[in-house]
Structure 1
Amino acid sequence: MNRIALGVQYDGTAWNGYQKQPDRHTVQDQLEIALEKFARTGLATTCAGRTDTGVHALEQVVHFDTELTREMQSWVRGVNAFLPDSIAVRWASTIPELPGQEFHARFAAFARTYHYVLYNNPVRSPLLVGRAGWTFRPLDVERMAEAARCLIGTHDFSAFRSSQCQAKTPIKQMHEVRIERRGEAIVFTLRASAFLHHMVRNLIGSLIYVGQGRHTPAWLGEVLAGRDRNDAAPTFMPDGLYLAKIDYDPKWGLPQDATSPLPWF
């Protein structure tokens, strides 16, 4: 039996999230339909992390087990032939067999990176609908960066956790928060051990409050320490959220993109 990993990229605008649903209108459903058509047998996939409706992925990672023997490029081209234009397999890799160790797309990951792209202009752009969030009030990037410093480290992120979150613990380690202005766009990059349901969007909403001057930078640390979801800002729109990268030990030999760039910003 071979365990194969795929790097999958998708525009989540048209899909009801990644995870399978009865209506089969999700990224996972479409991927498994394409895999079955190519392999001529059903193949169940496991992903590194679920994404919600409207959320995109520059590099989602999934794995599946199969007895079939194919060239890796055949998995890429063959599966893509049956996928809609908004979903594509970017790479495929056979997982090496290591004594006493097993690769798992979710549990073998030690960090995840998300980008959030925000269009900051008095007038919305129809060309960016679904690709970027939007706020018309001016934002102070330096104030937001100052506020974000309190997020670095290991914390209880209950204040930014959805009531529907199924994670066993709200304690996560935030490795990096970077906020950059790129013309009329502001790109937020967050890298952590893992994220709670809606955690990134809840953090973005609160950082925007600080950037608008509605709260001081110190307020974000107070909300974090208070662990009360009602104290934070509302969940921000999903449009500009991108799952950018999943980090694994190099021993698994995955051909991942080291930078996970946003090619259009």
Structure 2
Amino acid sequence: MRNIKMTIEYDGGRYLGWQRLGDSDKTIQGKIENILSAMTGTEIEIIGSGRTDAGTHARGQVANFKTTSDMDLLAMRDHLIRYLPRDIVVKELEEVPERFHARYHAAGKTYSYHVWNNVVPSAFERHYSYHYPGQLDVDRMNEACQKLVGKHDFLGFSSLKKSKKSTFRTINDITIQQEGNLLHFSFTGEGFLYNMVRIMMGTILEIGAGTMEPEYIDAIFKSGIRSEAGMTVPSHGLFLDEVYYD
């Protein structure tokens, strides 16, 4: 039995997210599994490093699957590229030890979020960035980012209800880069809760706009109340850039 690791890039705009759904064929996982199953002649189930929401994109999603097929990896990749929709690309295949698990063995991830900050929207960036027309103070946003870095209870920055599972997460780094009207926010951490990046991003924008103070972040950590944090920004500006393994 071979264990194959995949690195996948996709435009999530027309899909209902990563996870396979029984009542729809519009998922990334479902599309890839269908091609792999037809290619190998056996039912294939792939394991992703994590779910991405409807509309979210990926430059470096990682998944793995097991197969008895002896097909060459390059031929396998070429087959996937040929038969998958053009907005899903398997960039790399690698044979890994049998125990490798794309989700359980992930040591960290980097997400990016892109904001088009201009009164006038962009015809070209509209599918891959959030249009925010108001003025933003980058220094205030950087201050907010530094408060979010470290190990904290991020319950208030997620869409989760209280549960027995830990909501503590460690953020290693958050950076902001400006390229004309585009603002690129990068979030690297050991793991992320449901909607955590999108809610942190909404909070950062509200602080940049002056409708919220950076100190509010400390209060949200303490209270764990979702409604005290900023908005949940739209999914189409979010990218899963890289998944890290020890």
Which of the five TM-score ranges fits, normalised by the shorter chain? over 0.9
For the pair 1:107 / 2:108, whether they are aligned, the reply is no
Q: What are the equivalent positions in structure 2 for 1:1-265 lying under 5 Å apart? A: 1-21=1-21, 22-96=23-97, 102-163=99-160, 168-249=165-246
Instruction: Give CA deviations for 1:182-204 in whole Å, capped at 9, x if unaligned.
Output: 11111110011111110000000
**Superposition TM-score, scaled by structure 2 size:** 0.95
Q: Secondary structure at the match of 2:124?
A: helix
Provide structure 1 residue ranges, at least 5 long, that are not aligned to the other structure. 250-265
Is the CA contact 1:80–1:89 (under 8 Å) kept in the aligned structure 2? yes
Mapped to 2, the partners of 1:168 and 1:84 lie a distance apart of 37
Q: Which amino acid counterpart does residue 39 of structure 1 have in structure 2?
A: T
Distance 1:92 1:54, change over 3 A: same
Instruction: Give CA deviations for 1:204-225 in whole Å, capped at 9, x if unaligned.
Output: 0000000001122222222222
**Superposition TM-score, scaled by structure 1 size:** 0.89
Instruction: Give CA deviations for 1:24-71 in whole Å, capped at 9, x if unaligned.
Output: 210011011111222222211000010000000001100001111122
Provide structure 2 residue ranges, at least 5 long, that are not aligned to the other structure. none
RMSD: 1.5
Instruction: Give CA deviations for 1:82-117 in whole Å, capped at 9, x if unaligned.
Output: 1001101000000035xxxx2100011110110001
Aligned pairs, number? 245
Structure 1 stretch displaced more, 34-43 or 185-194: 34-43
Mapped to 2, the partners of 1:115 and 1:131 lie a distance apart of 11
Distance 1:16 1:166, change over 3 A: farther
Identity among equivalent pairs (%):
31
